[in-house]
Structure 1
Amino acid sequence: MKKYILGVICCSSLLAFPAISQQDEFSFDAEQYREDVRVLASDKFGGRAPLSEGEALTLDYLVNSFKKIGLDPGYKGSYLQAVPLAEISADQSMKLTIDGMSFSNGDQFTARTQRIIDQVELKDSELVFVGYGINAPEFGWNDYQGVDVKGKTVIVLVNDPGFATQNVDLFKGNAMTYYGRWTYKYEEAARQGAASVFIVHETDPAGYGWGVVQNSNTGSKFTLIDDNNNLGQVGVMGWVQHDVAKDIFAKADLNYEDLKLAASKSDFKAIDLKMKANLVLKNSIVKAESYNVVAKLSGSNKSNKSDETLVMHAHWDHLGTKLDAAGKKQIFNGAVDNASGVAGVLALAKAFKAKADKAPFKRDILFTSFTAEETGLIGAQHFALNPPVPTKDIVAFLNIDGMNVNDGVDYILGYGQGVSELESYLKDASTGLKRHVKADPRPQNGLMYRSDHFALAQQGVPGLLFMSLGDTDPDYIAHKYHKGQDDYDSTWSLGGVRQDLQLIGDILSRLANNEDWPRWLEDSDFKARRSEDGH
């Protein structure tokens, strides 16, 4: 089971920018950084959706930027790695009906599929409530025990029983485990043979409001394509509003809150709701190639191990352009999430190339930007399974997913205590910059499973996530995250960006010049996979 990966939310920067002993002060071109974010988050780029005109503009911009910096192609002689995708666009006029009740798409539920077929239909599909939909032997938990859900529709709760009870001895208490993520819910339901899954949305355990679910799951969605057109996955991947779930349970003469409480106990048994669901997904399918961007700064390889590699990363995609309920075009420019991160990677690439021209680093560094993170880490998954060097030779993966574009603070938020030796790198770099590591105040949000580093962790590569999506802008999560308001703002101070890039650069520089292989500390599938690779 995938338990934990070290992650960091960077809410950064000091008003005065101190030098640190490990390396020279980071050379930061604020105007170039502003220009990179402004262009990538402009309406012209249309929200940078995969397989759109905005993708072509983004790829050209990034490739030309890396060429100008002087980096080499990083994937088999090219700056681009092809990622085979299917774009699936479901007819948004769909209706979900359950025993005479009818629910509207977007406002009350969302539904999509990753199966590469023209139509997915639920016809009188039996409804079963399976609590949290978790099968976790190491926690002595199996919500599917004693129930056959093959061909049926399951309703599950978001997050896990540890968060629901706040019991530190149950799962990981308030901190979300991978069992709490929506991705796991769909994966486990598929393993159990379910035809469809509907996750009950509640803001606190999900970590975001319904608007994020709506914007992330309606319209066109993307998926990798397996050898069986993804027919092994659940047919319908859905969400329902909290109030909708209560109505469904009431129709079955059951109380939602009572069953939610029962589901937080290990002796919970799945409940046949004795109701049937009907839904038709009519799909338009386009198969095409999207692209990851990979640029390389070659090291001197003084260790005589030529494939030792570090990866510095930020995903380039966002949600694209959609029509709102009134039929008006809305562009999701994703300035903070994640044009700010991509601009940060470009700034680091420029600074490290200048340093390498004077004294090459020992290890190779890949500067990357992947596609389709917002649809489920798709570009990262493809890279992890088809890397330019074996994952056993990738020392660490540093990932920026939203930077602090405002003034700085004297701390950095960290989570995942005792998980990876990369924690010591974070602590040392923070101390050198007169900052301190502060415990993540929102471990229930499960950020460690929600960005591209997780796909590499599943292959055993330890990582750090640098993210700032609201700690210095309390309005961001409520009104900008995955919404049309995430736009470039010329009044950003960029103090946090400057500070965070110094910190990230310090960690990257140390790893690039030593022979250390940071280890996983906590027992997990990640640690086991890394051990198989001899590290």
Structure 2
Amino acid sequence: MNTSRLLGLLGVLLLPAAHAAPFNFDQQSYRQDVQTLASDEFEGRGPLSHGEKLTVDYLEKAYKSMGLAPGFGDSYRQSVPIAKISADQSMELKIGDMVFHNGDEFTARTEQVQPKVSLKDNDVVFVGYGINAPEYHWNDYANIDVKGKTVILLVNDPGFATQDPQVFKGNAMTYYGRWTYKYEEAARQGAKAVFIVHETAPAAYGWNVVQNSNTNAKYTLVDDNKNSSHIGVMGWVQHKVAQKIFNAAGLDYDQLKLTAAKPGFKSMALNLKANLKIDNTIELATSYNVAGLLPGTTQADEWLVMHAHWDHLGKTSHNGETRIYNGAVDNASGVAGVLQLARHFKGLKGDDAPKRSMLFSAFTAEETGLIGAQYFAEHPPVPTKQLVSFLNIDGMNVGKGVDYILRYGEGVSELESYLDKAAKAQGRRVKADPRPQNGLMFRSDHFALAKQGVPGLMFMSLGDTDPDYIAHKYHQGADDYDPNWDLGGVSQDLALISDILTQLANNDDWPKWLEASDFKKRRAQDGL
């Protein structure tokens, strides 16, 4: 344990213990919330759908019935202006003399608010991992001009490829490994299109997840220039497709990717042309974040946020078959957990009532890039310097209880000390993220707030307590409510979260970032 983390832990342990009214898990109401939110009637809770209307109405009614105040001034809803962009799925990708089929071999979409986006005889280049990271002395764009070109690049980062802890963070993914970063950096470099090569191990999910997530309607915030600065084509290609492309260029893809993970790699032109046409149907509309506020008794201008995203993938139609992605675990289970916590804290009276204000929130469009969270982070109901911490549930352990709680990240913020203490009080151990290569720290709503300097904790059990989940349920039609769920894991985790919230709601602590990062710099700008 590093010195700063040890000091953070000692500081928390020396704080006066807040009186904790026991958390009582109401299994019946929890089941009802999950079953309703994950029902076919709610159509997979897709943003801008009939399912969104049902979901937002359900949550607002729940907050009102508890007696929570509106979270956004005089409203429980925060309007999030977004574009729904639906691409014609009959598109084909042509590279050289080869033709690839949408869905099975590649996916492509855009966030540019344009009815048509196309590549016409566009130069194709390979830029390794597509990373420009001065602190790691790494720049895949150093020796090549990609302006107006099609970029092919690798998923994850060189640390995962080498498993060398001296390269980036070794097995643990950095933000440079996330697909969101890769699109953003390619756009900064002036590229017109990006195709990320999918491989299951470094991506941390199978091709079916890429296919299900990118072949239906997608959502984006819209800037004043209709997102013209965003990458024109956001694509993925199958591993076998990449092999064919590189073979056509006279190169060995699998050998070249090994070279790309070593310092000194030089990006290269493939001397091939790309052609693609994306026809879009665009709907400009308003989606909603939803939140209820429990004002604090004596420190009302200091806020805690307890959160879970409400959206999932909605429903799709393919070859005459309609499929609903109900997202029972991801993330109806988390939303129902937040409602349980809201009922608990709203029921506390007198000296037990929290001193700090508590916002219980559910944001839109997490699944398509943390859109609702990004909008909230950029338009918070109070300045971010008044947000103490952001706790986030993204999928609960709906099975039996376990003797551990997962920690995502290590030595990142002092909130880890709160997690340590709450787990110890339950007789549980804190278990490090068993799959740090998956980059889960960067894949949920708390990350949008972290970029604004607000420290957070994520609670997620996907693929750990249920090893079958990622392979057969994650972002698939099988993520349905099951009346046979044990819910022992939900009960113990909500009690643990309640303990942490109780401590934070009743002390004067402002948990700090431990690791040098842009998050820490941003928090310092707020004087914290």
TM-score by structure 2 length? 0.96
Q: Is 1:171 aligned to residue 165 of structure 2?
A: no
Q: 2:460 is matched by which residue type in structure 1?
A: M
Q: Equivalent residue for 2:301?
A: 307
Q: Distance in 2 between matches of 1:92 and 1:254?
A: 30
Q: Conserved in 1, the CA contact under 8 Å of 2:44 and 2:51?
A: yes
Q: Equivalent residue for 1:528?
A: 521
- 1:71 CA drift (Å): 0.4
Q: Is 1:462 aligned to residue 462 of structure 2?
A: no
- 1:356 CA drift (Å): 4.2
Q: 1:453 is matched by which residue type in structure 2?
A: H
Q: Equivalent residue for 2:76?
A: 79
**RMSD (CA atoms):** 1.2
Q: Equivalent residue for 1:185?
A: 182
Q: 1:147 is matched by which residue type in structure 2?
A: I
Q: Distance in 2 between matches of 1:269 and 1:21?
A: 57
Q: Is 1:379 aligned to residue 379 of structure 2?
A: no
Q: Equivalent residue for 1:280?
A: 277
- 1:24 CA drift (Å): 3.2
- 1:471 CA drift (Å): 1.4
Q: Is 1:65 aligned to residue 58 of structure 2?
A: no
3-state SS of the aligned residue for 2:348? Answer: helix
Q: Is 1:340 aligned to residue 333 of structure 2?
A: yes
> Could you list the per-position Cα deviations for residues 138-193 of structure 1 after superposition, in whole angstroms to 9, with x for gaps in the alignment?
00000000211000000010000000000000000000000000000000000000
Q: Is 1:118 aligned to residue 115 of structure 2?
A: yes
Q: Distance in 2 between matches of 1:486 and 1:179?
A: 29
Q: Equivalent residue for 1:487?
A: 480
3-state SS of the aligned residue for 2:44? Answer: coil
Q: Distance in 2 between matches of 1:97 and 1:111?
A: 12
Q: Distance in 1 between matches of 2:237 and 2:349?
A: 52
Q: Distance in 2 between matches of 1:356 and 1:292?
A: 28
3-state SS of the aligned residue for 1:279? Answer: strand
Q: Equivalent residue for 1:431?
A: 424
- 1:95 CA drift (Å): 0.2
Any stretches of 5+ residues in structure 2 without a counterpart? 6-16
3-state SS of the aligned residue for 1:438? Answer: strand
Percent identity, please.
67
Equivalent positions of 1:204-219 (< 5 A) are 204-219=201-216
Q: 1:137 is matched by which residue type in structure 2?
A: P
Q: Distance in 2 between matches of 1:66 and 1:164?
A: 46
Q: Conserved in 1, the CA contact under 8 Å of 2:153 and 2:195?
A: yes
| 1:159 counterpart (150, 156, 160) | 156
Q: Conserved in 2, the CA contact under 8 Å of 1:22 and 1:506?
A: no
Equivalent positions of 1:361-440 (< 5 A) are 361-440=354-433
Q: Conserved in 2, the CA contact under 8 Å of 1:51 and 1:290?
A: yes
Q: Distance in 1 between matches of 2:218 and 2:275?
A: 22
3-state SS of the aligned residue for 1:350? Answer: helix
- 1:357 CA drift (Å): 6.0
Q: Distance in 2 between matches of 1:113 and 1:301?
A: 48
Q: Conserved in 1, the CA contact under 8 Å of 2:20 and 2:352?
A: no
Q: 1:271 is matched by which residue type in structure 2?
A: M
Q: 1:292 is matched by which residue type in structure 2?
A: N
Q: Which stretch has the larger CA shift, 468-477 or 170-179? A: 468-477
Q: Distance in 2 between matches of 1:57 and 1:357?
A: 35
Q: Distance in 2 between matches of 1:314 and 1:366?
A: 11
- 1:66 CA drift (Å): 0.7
| 2:323 counterpart (330, 334, 358) | 330
> Could you list the per-position Cα deviations for residues 346-399 of structure 1 after superposition, in whole angstroms to 9, with x for gaps in the alignment?
000000001146632111000000000000000000000000000111000000
Q: Equivalent residue for 1:10?
A: none
Q: 1:425 is matched by which residue type in structure 2?
A: Y
Q: Equivalent residue for 1:13?
A: none
Q: 1:334 is matched by which residue type in structure 2?
A: G
Q: 1:511 is matched by which residue type in structure 2?
A: L
Q: Distance in 2 between matches of 1:356 and 1:396?
A: 23
- 1:301 CA drift (Å): 2.4
Q: Conserved in 2, the CA contact under 8 Å of 1:21 and 1:432?
A: no
3-state SS of the aligned residue for 2:354? Answer: coil
3-state SS of the aligned residue for 2:94? Answer: strand
Q: Distance in 1 between matches of 2:370 and 2:276?
A: 27
Q: Is 1:292 aligned to residue 289 of structure 2?
A: yes
3-state SS of the aligned residue for 2:45? Answer: coil
- 1:23 CA drift (Å): 1.9
3-state SS of the aligned residue for 1:308? Answer: strand
> Could you list the per-position Cα deviations for residues 379-426 of structure 1 after superposition, in whole angstroms to 9, with x for gaps in the alignment?
000000000000111000000000000001101121321110001000
- 1:327 CA drift (Å): 2.3
Q: Equivalent residue for 1:511?
A: 504
Any stretches of 5+ residues in structure 1 without a counterpart? 1-5, 7-19
Q: Distance in 2 between matches of 1:21 and 1:512?
A: 9
Q: Equivalent residue for 1:477?
A: 470
Quick one: higher RCO (CA 8 Å, sep 6+), 1 or 2?
1
Q: Equivalent residue for 1:14?
A: none
Q: Equivalent residue for 2:253?
A: 256
Q: Equivalent residue for 1:317?
A: 311
Q: Equivalent residue for 2:242?
A: 245
Which 4+ stretches in 1 moved above 6 angstroms?
none
Q: 1:518 is matched by which residue type in structure 2?
A: P
Q: Distance in 2 between matches of 1:34 and 1:300?
A: 31
How many equivalent residue pairs?
Answer: 513
Q: Conserved in 2, the CA contact under 8 Å of 1:410 and 1:436?
A: yes
Q: Is 1:443 aligned to residue 440 of structure 2?
A: no
Q: Distance in 1 between matches of 2:119 and 2:298?
A: 57
Q: Conserved in 1, the CA contact under 8 Å of 2:83 and 2:113?
A: yes
Q: 1:192 is matched by which residue type in structure 2?
A: Q
Q: Distance in 1 between matches of 2:73 and 2:282?
A: 29
